[in-house]
Amino acid sequence: MKDRVMVVDDEPITRLDIKEMLEERGYNLVGEAKNGEEAIEKAKHLAPNLIIMDIKMPILDGVKASSIIKKQSDCAILLLTAYSDQELTIKAKKAGVTGYLVKPVKERELIPAVEIALSQRKKELELFRKIALLEEKIEHRKKIEKAKGILMKVEGYSEEEAYRKLQKKSMETHVSMVKIAEQVIGKVNK
């Protein structure tokens, strides 16, 4: 099964056309909405990977809805517009939109845009995952450095000796160095 997609447009015929094009390609259409406000609510519950959304809609337009959805979700958003201008491009970029298509939407334009948007989303998620791992490693390193500093101050070890002490304790107890560092820090903070 392909990615989860939601279609948002105030025109039922446009929603139906887009749904049919996507379903023919095997996409999982998880929902649809007729305005930006409804899109925000449904995006929370349906968790689509991609939202294809019109810009000009009643109640809340697609750009404002996109901005709110992007703060709550990691989905990609493709905007649909009847016009293409510089101001729209700037607003769309600020809202975190992945791309946009000019109406009327044709399958030969829609499917590549959908594929690219979903590919960009996957790359973005992978970058966020890598950033989180790096941040975790930095926090671990800070704890190890702090524990080394404590051992140097309290026990009079050199920096290398303090590191070796942490490393040896980790190997002997089969506990990660960061856990050993946390134990050393915890003893000082008591």
Give the start-to-end residue ranges of the domains of the chain: 4-105, 132-189
Query: How far is C-alpha 112 from the geometric centre of its chain's CA atoms?
Result: 21
CATH topology of domain 132-189: Arc Repressor Mutant, subunit A (1.10.10)
Examine domains 4-105 and 132-189 and report if their fold is the same.
Answer: no
d(CA 72, CA 66): 10
The per-residue pLDDT for range 46-89, each reduced to its tens digit, is 999 999 999 999 889 999 999 999 999 999 999 998 877 788 88
**pLDDT reading at 1 higher than 60:** no
- Confidence (pLDDT) at 187: 86
Rounded to an integer, the average pLDDT of 143-172 is 93
d(CA 128, CA 120): 12
**Architecture field, domain 4-105:** 3-Layer(aba) Sandwich (3.40)
Q: How confident is the model at residue 114 (pLDDT cuts 50, 70, 90)?
A: very high
The per-residue pLDDT for range 118-150, each reduced to its tens digit, is 999 999 999 999 999 999 999 999 999 999 999
Residue from 110, 56, 63 nearest 83 by CA: 56
Strands 28-33 and 99-102: unpaired
